[in-house]
Amino acid sequence: MKYKVIIAGLIISSLLTSCQDFGDEFFDTPAQSTLGDEIIFSNAELAQGAVDGIKVSFGEEQSYRGRLLTYQGLNTDTEWLLASSSDNAKSDLVVYDAKADNTEMNSPKNAWAMMYEGIERANLCIRGLRTYGNVTSNKELGQLLGEALTLRAIYYADLVRNWGDVPARFEPVTTNTIYVPKTGRDEIYKQLIADLGEASTLVGWPNETAATNSTERVNKAFVKGFRARLAMMASGYQQYPDGVRRSTDPALSVAAMYKLALDECRSVITSGTAHLEPTFEGLWRKYNQEVLTAGGESLWEIPFAATRGRVLFTFAVRHDAIDQFQAMGTNKGGVNGPLPFVFYDYDQADTRRDVTCVPYKWGSAVNGKAKQELTDLQTWYFGKYRFEWMSRIASAPNDDGVNKIYMRYAEVLLIAAEAANELEGPGSAAVYLKEIRRRAFPSASQAVKVDAYVDALSSKDAMLNAIVEENKYEFTGEMERKFSLIRWNLLKTKLDEAKVKMADLKARTNKYQDVPSTLYYKYKDDGITLDIYGLNRGETQAPVGYTSKAWDKLEDNKITTLYKAGVNPDKRQFWPIWQTFIDNSNGQLVNDWVFGN
């Protein structure tokens, strides 16, 4: 059963978008609740209700649910909004041309406000647990403090990676802190890394306690992996007011942060409390079936109730109609997808390819049943998300209720590989990269595709380039790659490469000269599932009994609008702060340096 996020016996004051709507006395008054804070935060059951309330902000209509998860992380060299060539507010968000008055985002209830609402709730819980919780002697209350610290870090990490420098609030709002300016993200990173260090001493390993037996609850493996991710981000390249560079803060140096990241990853790996799922397809089937048991590959998931959350609604293989797999309505899924060449960049033996890249949709339904229909070369869907793999029929009109995996064990392995390569050399990185690839390739291919491939990476540069590519094969469709490209200082470089690849694919030249321009298909015995020939390179011999379909539609405007013409994505790494929050900041917030071309 999916975890229910509730607020038990507590009314938590929230940081709202127009703070001046309340009198100053509101902020001078201690947070009111049906029970006193001393009673709430000294009682594990009541305190858990308060900490659960922090998560409510993830699911609000214009928060992660319907805005942040829909657009963050797009467009990259592997993923795009399928309607990127449209000229509207939605496409502006992903083609690196967002304006402060963007109509999709410029709302008082936008994700920005909801994230600060969640932060304020976390601040109140952290204060209450530190004051009344006896967290050193009471493990249940210590777990809850660790969760509150981690949930606050999640909100801040997502604020920083989408907006750069943002206001920092690590205490509940008071009269004096209603209006605050932006804080340099280096200071925020240092606070989050310290907080997660503390949290890792408080929370249990996956399945160590009843509180950590679900992927919807924070555990030590996730906290350590998340801390490693933030260390890599903090020391990586990113856009500052004076250009794209690494931090100059000694505390966030590559040497310090990579060591921290490697130590944390190795701690998770040696703990044995998390592991890769045996097969890549099995991982994603379990995910869509909403298996929430901790201790596998999913380290933590943003929890959505069955009637909240739009992950499949946005990212799944498209369904044109209500059918045997979903009852949400027409045109569900298929808003975003992989770039057309990504399928052809995979090794044909890589089992991740057919899970990640899907060239069909589910068409109109006859007697309640739909069948697969081929799309076209420029329209692929993310196969990691499938209504047809769910254990239930999603029926809410706009919400499928499937969680968002926030971090999985595969990322821990790839961070370990990257940090070990930098600090110790490619020999130390090899073991982690091999583990990722061993899951991806069948046993018959592993001597060549795993051992020989990795062993040939004899220099740091070669190993890093391989890790960059492996990140693509492993994580396409999870909207994490953009942030990795930024910290590698490869955002514009890889976007430009993607444009060239699409042009080459359209012309069937260079690396794509042997990609077939015609597909052949028929239906299997079940009458709904496609049997496709011609997707693999070199498959050009027309088979008997199959129907042909041209596989060459790739419009120029699709290629050229991966990012906006005349815009330099490296100078648009962040979204602007939306106008409504600037207008209500009492002059403290301004978009000053995020609009360079």
Tell me the pLDDT tens digit for each residue of 297-318: 999 999 999 899 999 999 999 9
Q: First and final CA of the chain: distance in angstroms? A: 49
* Pair of tokens at residue 433: 């990269």
* Strand intervals (E) in 44-144: 79-81
**Residue 552, burial from CB neighbour count under 10 angstroms (0-12, 13-18, 19+):** middle
Instruction: Provide the pairing of β-strand 298-302 with 404-408.
Output: antiparallel
Q: Residue 153: which of 85, 246, 93, 230 has the closest Cα? A: 230
Task: Report the distance separating Cα 492 and Cα 596, nearest Å.
Answer: 14
Query: Residue 9 has what pLDDT?
Result: 32
Does residue 18 surpass a pLDDT of 50? no
pLDDT score at 35 = 67
| pLDDT attached to residue 36 | 87
Check if the beta carbon of residue 487 is closer than 8 Å to that of residue 232. yes
- pLDDT of res. 100: 97
Residue 430 structure tokens: 């090899």
pLDDT in tens, 177-229: 999 999 999 999 999 999 999 999 999 999 999 999 999 999 999 999 999 99
For residue 7, the model assigns a pLDDT of 37
**Which among 276, 325, 273, 321 is positioned nearest to 294, based on CA atoms?**
273
Give burial (CB, 10 Å; 0-12/13-18/19+) of 341: buried
pTM reported for the whole predicted model? 0.95
The pLDDT value recorded for residue 480 is: 97
pLDDT given at position 593: 77
pLDDT at 67 (0 to 100): 95
pLDDT average, residue stretch 24-48:
70
What letter represents residue 587's amino acid?
G
Residues 6 or more apart whose CB falls under 8 angstroms from that of 594 comprise 164, 239, 572, 573, 574, 575, 576
CB-based burial of residue 6 (10 Å sphere; 0-12 exposed, 13-18 middle, 19+ buried)? middle
| Coil vs helix vs strand at 531 | strand
Average pLDDT along the chain = 94
13-22, 143-152, 302-311, 440-449: least confident range: 13-22
pLDDT tens for each residue of 484-495: 999 999 999 999
Mean pLDDT across 573-580: 97
C-alpha to C-alpha distance for 367 and 373, rounded to whole angstroms: 17
Report the pLDDT value the prediction gives residue 49, as an integer from 0 to 100: 97
pLDDT value at residue 320: 98
Residue 10 has pLDDT above 60, yes or no: no
pLDDT at 291: 98
> In the predicted model, what is the mean pLDDT of residues 260-264?
99
The region of weakest confidence among 8-12, 209-213, 421-425 is 8-12
Query: Does the structure show a pLDDT above 90 at 446?
Result: yes
| Of 303, 479, 328, 440, nearest in space to 394 by CA | 328
Cβ contact 401:304 at 8 Å: yes
* Residue 30 confidence class, pLDDT cut points 50, 70, 90: very low
- Cβ atoms within 10 Å, residue 254: 16
Q: Do 127 and 30 form a contact (C-beta atoms < 8 A)?
A: no
Q: Determine how many CB atoms are found less than 10 A away from the CB of residue 379.
A: 18
pLDDT in tens, 373-398: 999 999 999 999 999 999 999 999 99
- pLDDT for residue 21 is more than 50: no
| Mean pLDDT score, 266-289 | 98
Q: How big, in percent rounded to 5, are the helix, strand and coil portions of the chain? A: 45, 10, 45
Q: Give the mean model confidence (pLDDT) for residues 5-21.
A: 35
SS3 77: coil
User: Which residue did the predictor score with more confidence, 597 or 328?
Assistant: 328
Q: Compute the average pLDDT of residues 457-462.
A: 98
Query: How many residues in total does the chain contain?
Result: 597
